[in-house]
Amino acid sequence: MDDWSATRNQYLAGICVNIISLSHGGFCGWTSASFIELVSPNTTLKSGPLNNYEIGWIGSLLCVGGALGTIFFAWCADKIGRKRCLLLITLPALFGWWIIPFAQNSLHLCLARLLGGLGGGGIFSVIPLYVTEFSEDRSRGILGTLLIVSCNTGILLAFILGNFFTYSGVAWILSSLPLLFVTCFAFLPESPQYLINRNNTKEAEKSLRYFRNVKYSKHSLPLPVQLEMEKLLERMQSTESDGKPSQMIIKPVKHFSLVYP
């Protein structure tokens, strides 16, 4: 199998998971063009144009939400899994965009920015974890850069859209990104390392087969993939040995055979 065939699904997964990073980049860049409209006398806010005090709060609450989101979603990633946690991140990102078109005053915009930052904190804490756990050494470097590339692309996209649409129109357009993310990411498996950590060896093998583009068969795994599975098991056992004694029983995988039948 050539390098592209072996890593194809890893790159596809890296692109799919970073669609939500585009959305967060949009949150970061949304204020640039939007504040021009929001401080003008022609603003659509019922409370009137924003003042400097309100602008300061709207701008800063994205970072406040990011700090809270980092702590919360990092905790969730270990409790419910990387995949479920990333899908959960969609909710604050989506509601953050949906609040903006219906906002009547600065408090509504502050809430939208706080939710956007909450999702952003989860993005920067969980996506690197997920990508690291499914990628090989030869592709991990490139896949790791996709997070920053996607976020910066989202910022640029918000700048461009802000020149042609109103602040609410930009919010409606960029709200399609979390929906697109769910559509694409829902079909990807959980990371093999997390499944191993939960003693779910069978599902971990399926996940590893997908990310290494190895079709399922009744025969043993190809030797490189088999060795990688064993390495994941060893890593999990060594992690447990550094903490409390494990109560889980690791069952040997019978079809791990070094010799093909």
The model's pLDDT over 101-143, given as tens digits with 9 standing for 90+, comes to 998 888 999 999 999 999 999 999 999 999 998 888 788 888 9
Instruction: Count the neighbouring beta carbons within 10 Å of the beta carbon of residue 54.
Output: 19
Give the CATH number of domain 3-188; options: 3.40.50.300, 1.20.140.10, 1.20.1250.20, 3.20.20.70: 1.20.1250.20
Binning the chain into helix, strand and coil, the percentages to the nearest 5 are: 75, 0, 25
CA atoms within 13 A on the CB side of 89: 41
- pLDDT at 258 exceeding the cut of 50: no
Terminal CA-to-CA distance of the chain, rounded, Å? 20
Cα–Cα distance measured from residue 92 to residue 113, given in angstroms and rounded to the nearest whole number: 10
In whole angstroms, give the CA distance from residue 248 to residue 207. 21
Q: What is the pLDDT of residues 155-173, one digit of tens each?
A: 999 999 988 998 899 999 9
The full set of domain ranges for the chain reads 3-188, 194-241
pLDDT at residue 225, as a whole number? 66
The residue type found at 213 is N
The residues near 156 (Cβ < 8 Å, ≥ 6 apart) are 25, 29
Higher pLDDT, residue 88 or 250? 88
**Is residue 196 pLDDT above 90, yes or no?**
no
* Alpha carbons 45 and 42: distance in angstroms, whole number: 9
- HEC profile for 189-252? CCCHHHHHHCCCHHHHHHHHHHHCCCCCCCCCCCHHHHHHHHHHHHHHHHHHHHCCCCCCCCCC
Nearest to 207 by CA among 232, 234, 184: 232
Residue with the two structure tokens 């909450």: 118
Letter for the amino acid at 15?
A: I
Whole-prediction pTM = 0.82
Of the candidates 96, 127, 110, the one whose C-alpha atom is nearest the C-alpha of residue 27 is: 96
104-113, 207-216, 240-249: the lowest-pLDDT one:
240-249
